[in-house]
Amino acid sequence: MKTISGFWKFVVVCVAVGTIAACAQNAGAPDPHGVSLANMDRSVKPGDDFYRFANGNWIKHTELPGDRASIDVFSRLADLSDKRTADLIAEIAKSDPPASSATRKVADLYNSYMNEAAIETKGLSPLRLHLDAIATIHDKRELAHALGEGLRADVDALNNGVFHTANLFGLWVAPGFHDSEHYVAYLMQGGLQLPDREYYLSDRESMHKIRAQYQPHIAAMLELAGFSDAEARASRILELEHAISQSHRGLAESEDIHKADNTWSQADFASKAPGLDWTEYFRGAGLSQQGSFIVWQPEAFTGESALVASTSLETWKDWLAFHLIEAYAGILPKALADERFEFFGKTLSGAQQQRPRWQRGVSLVNDQLGDVVGQSYAQRYFSPGAKAQAEAMVGNLIAAFRKRIEALTWMDPKTKAEAKAKLSTLYVGIGYPETWHDYSSFEVKADDIFGNIWRGHLSDYQREVARLGKPVDRKEWCMTPQTVNAVNLPLQNALNFPAAILQPPFYDPRAPAAANYGAIGTVIGHEISHTFDSEGAAFDSQGRVRNWWTPSDLQHFEAATAQLAAQYDTYKPFPDLALNGKQTLGENIADVAGIAASFDGYRASLSGKPAPMQGDLTGDQQFFVAFGQNWGDKTREAALRQQVMTDPHSPGEYRAATVRNIDAWYAAFNVQAGEKLYLAPAERVRIW
């Protein structure tokens, strides 16, 4: 949620295998340094449709490859990053690394995924062991134990914004809301295969269609795994997931950290959420010693726990089996992997074919051993010079933000002092982390992909559990250097800008300042501003949950942001589906603030000299076009609908359009009343 781009794009298809694939080309000849003039459509008036003005030619001349649900600047760079990572993996494999070294693990993990013949030969046998264990569950107590054993560290509310897990619940280990010096346990709702409760409950035609195809998909997966009566089982599983979804919070509400701040002692669970045998659940999860938890969505815990009591043991066992099969289908024989892709890739995201296997293998290595390849990646592709220049730019942006805060007329001096303290204690990581993850407890075997992934998830989980109660490392990263994204970590008061996003077209040391500030500068400003957005405002300079705003400051902030939410509520990508201004509010605030601060930084960087022209574009015009070109995309309808319903980030078209809130944009393009994006000065949302 605090990222610059949606995580959903990376998690849709297979176990630990994202959806990003083949490459897209820019339309026309590349512009060597600066904005892409070739990608613009000059027949569109910037004041009518800024997104198409900046990207129209690229959109017209780009074909969405069959293996993609969407493409954009992020996915184009991710392709490059994947190719480089694949080359690094190939080099590592060739060098025949010593047994049990981290690099040996990379080679063995990748090769075990690529060896499709071995996967086919083993068939369902790796799965069988676990299915047999489910079959022997003979009462609700053993069920509770098995559900606990399934808990994984696979959610992340405030950094990457991962609110979905198909397990009954998800664990997030992070600094405490009230003790930011130590790691505490956050528990979040789960249990659904489909991306969000809306998929089960919405009356929209498109959701009805997906549900109608989901049940046959469940049956097909069970049948492929050798189950009898697959149809009847599928119907009961869907009914159970439907009931679970009714207890879930929607995304916009889950994003409200004040509603998430619920501390339960372990003993509280039995009284506040009766039904599940919690003692046995926590024993299965290896958390018997954990005294308390922050329960993110209490009503979901109450509802789901009650369903454990009220729904038959046989249905729960089928649910467990189906969720296990689904979670590992991507690394099981082709028949299962294909059936999973048919539904989750084609029906849910609109992709026509799977990404190339090597690319899925790279995603898998990134997920399980990301820091090992990340270390080599950073060494090879991120020079000390590039790091120093990017650090200087961040320094300028922070200075611009500080000035903006000082100049605010509506903010109380005390609030300003804390806001400035937050800027002073902000840790900004550029390129790569200072320390790397240790994977020594993760056992990787040649030709055992199922076991490797199983052990990888378990070892991630055990590492997170082992951190509980330990002092927080504020400089720890939550992204690898080869990730094309950026993130604000509110509980650590820290930012990460991985090496892979600090390259053209976002950042080019040889491009004019206007282009760099318009592209990566607005991204940096976006992340800094999360420090002060609707959620950032809840955390003080030490990362504690503390209201450091005066009532009148908060009132102004809430009025201004409500106006922005209302603006986004009016955007309708489809006649039956509008954006949710509340769900996307934090990201939309960050976009407006990021442009404002970066524009200041850009102007300051000129030191009073005129900006160089690029073609017929002035410096100010280049700045805004570069921003608009961050958001050019092509997305299939199913994927776009999924994004609107499940992503805190607005679709690219509406992100580009937010320039309408910035006075300097009107001056740069001489935008007049009557043009479609025109807002009267009083209607423009000004927050920072």
Shortest distance (Å) from residue 487 CB to Zn ion: 8
Which one of 310-318, 555-563, 586-594, 659-667 is the stretch in contact with Zn ion (CB under 5 A)?
A: 586-594
* Residue 590 binds to Zn ion (criterion: CB under 5 A): yes
Strand ranges inside 610-679, DSSP E: 633-635
Bridge partner list, 430: 497
Determine the number of helices (DSSP H) and then strands (DSSP E) in the chain. Answer: 30, 9
Closest contact distance (angstroms) between CB of 159 and Zn ion is: 11
Q: In which element (H, E) is residue 62 found?
A: none
**Residue with smaller CB distance to Zn ion, 371 or 527:** 527
Kindly state the smallest distance separating residue 394's Cβ from Zn ion, in Å.
Answer: 16
- Residue with smaller CB distance to Zn ion, 86 or 585: 585
Least distance CB 590 / Zn ion (angstroms): 5
Cα gap 291→302, rounded to integer Å: 19
Q: How far is the CB of 161 from Zn ion (least distance, A)?
A: 8
- Main-chain dihedrals φ then ψ at residue 169, nearest 5 degrees: -140, 170
Of 273, 315, 319, the closest CA to residue 296 belongs to 273
Minimum CB distance to Zn ion smaller for 184 or for 590 = 590
Residue with tokens 């090496």: 499
Of residues 3 and 305, the one with the C-beta less far from Zn ion: 3
Is the Cβ of residue 3 or residue 368 nearer to Zn ion in the bound state? 3
Contact stretch for Zn ion (CB under 5 A) within 277-285, 374-382, 468-476, 583-591: 583-591
Where does this chain touch Zn ion (CB under 5 A) — which range of 418-426, 458-466, 582-590, 654-662?
A: 582-590
Given a contact cutoff of 8 angstroms between Cβ atoms, the answer to whether 486 and 497 are in contact is yes
CA pair distance 166, 524, nearest whole angstrom: 33
Output the smallest distance, CB 556 to Zn ion, in A. Answer: 22
Stretch near Zn ion under the rule CB under 5 A, chosen from 291-299, 364-372, 588-596, 609-617:
588-596
Rounded least distance, CB 174 to Zn ion, Å:
17
By beta-carbon proximity to Zn ion, the closer residue of 590 and 656 is: 590
* ∠ Cα 99 100 106 (to 5°): 95
Give residue for tokens 């290896």.
286
Residues 6+ apart with CB under 8 A from 179: 544
What six digits make up the tokens of 82? 């994947």
Please report whether residue 585 would count as binding Zn ion according to CB under 5 A: no
CB of 7 to Zn ion, least distance (A): 11
Number of residues that bind Zn ion (CB under 5 A): 2
CA distance 419 to 596: 17
Q: Which is nearer to Zn ion, 455 or 530 (CB)?
A: 530
Examine residue 575 and say whether the peptide bond preceding it is cis (omega within 30 degrees of 0): no
For Zn ion, the closer of residues 225 and 595 by Cβ is 595
Nearer to Zn ion, 245 or 588 (CB): 588
**Which residues partner with 169 through β-bridges?**
189
**Smallest distance, Zn ion to C-beta of residue 3, A:** 5
> Closer CB to Zn ion, residue 378 or residue 589?
589
The stretch among 148-156, 413-421, 544-552, 584-592 that binds Zn ion (CB under 5 A) is 584-592
CA atoms within 13 A on the CB side of 681: 3
Q: Does 157 bind Zn ion (CB under 5 A)?
A: no
Alpha-carbon span 489 to 559, nearest angstrom? 25
* Contact (CB, 8 A) for 569 and 579: yes
Give the three-class secondary structure for 578: coil
Return the half-sphere exposure (C-beta side, CA atoms, 13 A cut-off) of residue 251: 26
CB of 21 to Zn ion, least distance (A): 24
**By rule CB under 5 A, what string of x and - marks binding of each residue 56-95 to Zn ion?**
----------------------------------------
Binding mask 637-656 for Zn ion (x = CB under 5 A): --------------------
Residues within window 280-309 making contact with Zn ion, judged by CB under 5 A: none
Given the structure tokens 């300042």, which residue do they identify? 513
Q: Contact 324/166 with Cβ under 8 angstroms?
A: no
* Interface with Zn ion (CB under 5 A): 587, 590
